Structure 1
């Protein structure tokens, strides 16, 4: 073929091939990840003659991709951030639905109704309809706690499944990248451009970046290494498959398939899901448990020291058991750890109305539940108390003899004893901030209500005089005298001698140990946290047992 025809043919063929590149661009205009390609043309090698070089036309030298590695890297970073943000937005909306604070069934409304019920009950303790409403409000509160915990657990289940699915996507993508790496390297050794394969790989890298933040390093052979802060996902044709693991503390970690090493992700959908599982939901669980356990502890502590409409119990058994009846109470496995202090038990003779208040001192570092049982039996048994303590299934039981009942209230002892030959009677409600002992001491000798100037001095346990009572000629035996902090005293006819004393325990907290709440004695709530809080079975069955 003549040179002039060859030159013309080269132009036609080159133009045809360039048109194919253009057609390829047009047909892939909407193809995900496709990068525009261009033809690179160059003059063919000339023919050398004595007159000089003669041109031989044109040829297609190369087809290039219009790419920007920096821009692609930034797009991958942005994709990771958007992936994180979209997951956070999705699950924050779901959290809002779980707590549903704008509805009547919110936790806030349940708490408000519960505490309003306490206020109503304190004003009308004998109104059975108010008691029933209060019980209903309490059940609503406990149901709300448990519902929220259950829905948070469901969220964690969904998140765990989503992480599993997305890790499967990661493994599929990285495997495909490794396969493309192999093809690209093979073509490169032959000097062949692999534009479409490069586009496919870039699209896979973009998809992967949405799931987790990655760094891409290109090797001389055209392969790429895909890195995360936790290590390489792809290194040439080698792939690290990922899975997840949940440890005993409930923390979810991303690991390799052999679970030999953990992967820490910076951003991306998987990182957002992992943070929501490990941190966000865990924090809400913790806050709910703190709130619920605080309500359980405080309400039970107050309720345990209160009395229902019957005024006491003929028998009672703790809800919670100790790990061992002989173990020290602070190591006996109780959810609420008790403290060293005193418990006051009031025993009432239902026939005569006579009341006896007894103090049980407890050292939680040395005393066991068996010691408490023995102390109750030794302190308040027999004619003075007529109650008996026992242990069954590592739970404390207390029973009263026929004709007696008991409670753990902080009510004053109405019959503390005698001062000289005069019988003392106490009334009122102690309003002091801490438990104390008032000691009444005769400052002179004489007859109550007769001897002029006869006085009784009252000191607290620190030796401070809180009152000086005139019980001489200006006093009428049996009349009430105001002492201090809501406590009143009356003395019957009789005589006193200088130095005669009478002690009275004034109580603001009848269980400074919190042992009653820890054991679940006369408690309003059962359970330990937001997942199992409930109104106790006894109270649910009989609203008259609500202490108010």
Structure 2
């Protein structure tokens, strides 16, 4: 042991004390630095010196300068930071969506629905009032505008999400680049064994910031470098950081990709995860619900409106609202099948009835059109409409259906009851008539067939039916047969007409009065027998036609007709036991009306399903098979073809974004179809329209329109409440973890001051020790002199 042995121990003590004081000063200086981890010196006794049989200590060494951290706690903190970031975005989105709804409030959809049905109810008090009609139309426009605004704001929120995601992805790239740079610096510093404590703190802060944005996994190598996995991909590898980019897919949904890689990252956590979920799931689900509300509201309301009547009782012209899509790109619209015409509402297999009214006498004729969207083209539909008497329909260059009536006529699609169903005189009219007892479709598979007809005493004329006359001879509908017979009578110069009576055929002379006559003789293959027409008798016309009036509203649940047939010959109100049988379209007798002796002309007789009938004076003939038919329509359009094309619809559009009120009704509220009868004061359709308020809609989970919206609003309110509670809970847990970290890694001023005094005393003691050793050394040196 040399003379300087004590000096080494003292100097080591001075160095350790000075370094500890330096660290305390560093800790105190960073007491407010975010993410700073308290540091201390790790001391150990230096290697001892051997003196004989003894080992004498040589002082203290500073072996390391360490950060005080809890790795598990920091990992939990990063995880919680991501959970909090996601909860924060969810909370903000919930409050934004709740604000968009504006419930409860005057501009909320709930209130607008109430105003709509309230004004519709007011219109019931005076259906002819233009002012009340206008008030209802304005309420409808307010509702559609409210839905439009709601859809626009949700769409804007979704569009803005892309910008938000792009901003956050930019932040991710900055964090990733910073982590990669810090990795390189840490690797360089720690290569020679020096702890890069402050650099590690900075890296931890960057990783925590990254965890707030997206779910991450941290992997630390033995050399101190940290790799970051994000969304299933390596975001940071040592000193290299991958860059993320934001793009949109074919559905206009945001995707986060690695640059130069088409594979999207699966990001579920953090702010970006919440934004992606909001854009791809939450907002689209809400949009889908509001679109379903608009779609089904328009569908149910338009189903009733299309088959209603405006104030003037019918239409001279109508143009469809919804254009056809040129699916095959040939520049033509009329060749498109109804099923693939690109219309907003689906057309199904069913039937449509179009009614034509003679404005001069009120006579009504009706044509049934069978709709099959898989075989009927747009042009076919227009052609079928044009087959209705005095109606013309075309497909215009914009792909819309244009329908017009001849001068003196109006058309509609209502279920109005023909109040004068015997206007053609098939039941004791001025013209001679013979009625068929058989119902179509008729089997004319054995063709050719012929019969002879004699009118007004003229020579009999032979009428021949051929297979080419019919689309399907084995299944000939009454309407098709009527058209063929009319054409053949006209070609042969026969003054006769063929009239459809329900599913049967009646033949009439076109002359009138007692000089009018009609007789038939069956021929080859017995076509008259197929129709059930009487042969071998001569029917005579009359000077006066029998008047028949029908009253009431049909309350049945299916479309069809009532056929009225006398049970025997006789005079109304005179012949004892004279009755008229009433049969439905299946041939089932529904009622037997007593019109014989004791019946007073004009007395109303109950028929069935809310209808009544009265008869004027006249002769009935069961021999001639007199008959008349009355169409009974529960749904004049069971195919939704009118709704599909937008013919006489009230609402236009089919989504919350494009729902509106027809411009023609906005311009003239008198076109609002409040009626089912051709008079201005009728409000029968208003009753049906009001019932839509309480209608349970299958595609809305059996909700009414208002209850469906109420459920949406309630669920949004619940989600907002839950998001508020969740953000408070997650924030509390995050704060707790931060407090825990501060307890472990934070700087305590009081503790540092105590340590500083301790280190100062250690420094002073080491200094005094050196002085003592110095004095001892001097003594020893002096002894040796």
Give the TM-score normalised by the residue count of structure 1: 0.95
Question: In the alignment, is the contact (CA less than 8 A) between 1:76 and 1:213 conserved in 2?
Answer: no
Question: In the alignment, is the contact (CA less than 8 A) between 2:344 and 2:653 conserved in 1?
Answer: no
Cα offset, 1:229, TM superposition? 4.0
Please point out which of 583, 586, 591 is paired with 1:459.
Answer: 583
Structure 2: gaps spanning 5 or more residues:
326-332, 430-545, 675-785
SS at 1:484's partner residue? Answer: coil
SS at 1:255's partner residue? Answer: strand
Deviations 1:210-242 (A, max 9, x none): 111211111111111212342222122232222
Q: Determine the structure 2 residue equivalent to 1:358.
A: 367
Partners of 2:263 and 2:636 in 1: CA distance: 55
Deviations 1:274-324 (A, max 9, x none): 111111111111111111111222222211111111111111111212222
Q: Determine the structure 2 residue equivalent to 1:341.
A: 350
Question: In the alignment, is the contact (CA less than 8 A) between 1:230 and 1:262 conserved in 2?
Answer: no
Please point out which of 391, 394, 399 is paired with 1:387.
Answer: 391
- Following superposition of structure 1 onto structure 2, how do residues 139-538 of structure 1 map, counting pairs within 5 Å? 139-323=141-325, 324-378=333-387, 380-381=388-389, 386-393=390-397, 394-417=399-422, 418-421=426-429, 422-498=546-622, 500-538=626-664
Cα offset, 1:540, TM superposition? 0.8
Question: In the alignment, is the contact (CA less than 8 A) between 1:347 and 1:407 conserved in 2?
Answer: yes
Please provide the CA RMSD for this pair. Answer: 1.7
Q: Determine the structure 1 residue equivalent to 2:668.
A: 542
Question: In the alignment, is the contact (CA less than 8 A) between 1:229 and 1:265 conserved in 2?
Answer: yes
Deviates more, 1:437-446 or 1:137-146: 437-446
Partners of 2:588 and 2:22 in 1: CA distance: 107
Partners of 2:149 and 2:173 in 1: CA distance: 36
Partners of 2:343 and 2:200 in 1: CA distance: 64
Cα offset, 1:53, TM superposition? 3.0
Deviates more, 1:82-91 or 1:44-53: 44-53
Cα offset, 1:66, TM superposition? 1.3
Cα offset, 1:488, TM superposition? 1.6
**Residues 259 and 437 of structure 1: is their aligned pair in 2 closer, same or farther, counting only changes over 3 Å?**
farther
Q: Determine the structure 2 residue equivalent to 1:5.
A: 7
Partners of 2:126 and 2:635 in 1: CA distance: 23
Partners of 1:235 and 1:459 in 2: CA distance: 87
Partners of 1:252 and 1:259 in 2: CA distance: 15
SS at 1:262's partner residue? Answer: coil
Partners of 1:464 and 1:539 in 2: CA distance: 43
Give the TM-score normalised by the residue count of structure 2: 0.67
Deviates more, 1:267-276 or 1:244-253: 244-253
RCO comparison, higher one (Cα < 8 Å, 6+): 2
SS at 1:539's partner residue? Answer: helix
SS at 1:503's partner residue? Answer: strand
SS at 2:575's partner residue? Answer: coil
Cα offset, 1:500, TM superposition? 4.0
Structure 1: gaps spanning 5 or more residues:
none
**Residues 230 and 466 of structure 1: is their aligned pair in 2 closer, same or farther, counting only changes over 3 Å?**
farther
SS at 2:607's partner residue? Answer: strand
Deviations 1:129-178 (A, max 9, x none): 21111011011001101111111122123222111111111111011111
Partners of 1:237 and 1:454 in 2: CA distance: 108
Aligned length: 543
Deviations 1:349-404 (A, max 9, x none): 222222222222222221112112222222x23xxxx2222221221111122222
SS at 1:159's partner residue? Answer: helix
Cα offset, 1:250, TM superposition? 3.0
Partners of 2:277 and 2:627 in 1: CA distance: 67
Partners of 2:665 and 2:261 in 1: CA distance: 50
Partners of 1:489 and 1:370 in 2: CA distance: 39
Please point out which of 125, 128, 146 is paired with 2:127.
Answer: 125
SS at 2:37's partner residue? Answer: coil
Partners of 1:55 and 1:388 in 2: CA distance: 118
Cα offset, 1:14, TM superposition? 1.0
Partners of 1:337 and 1:29 in 2: CA distance: 70
Deviates more, 1:350-359 or 1:10-19: 350-359
Please point out which of 36, 39, 48 is paired with 2:38.
Answer: 36
Higher normalized strand content (fraction of residues): 1
Question: In the alignment, is the contact (CA less than 8 A) between 1:356 and 1:415 conserved in 2?
Answer: no
Q: Determine the structure 2 residue equivalent to 1:56.
A: 58
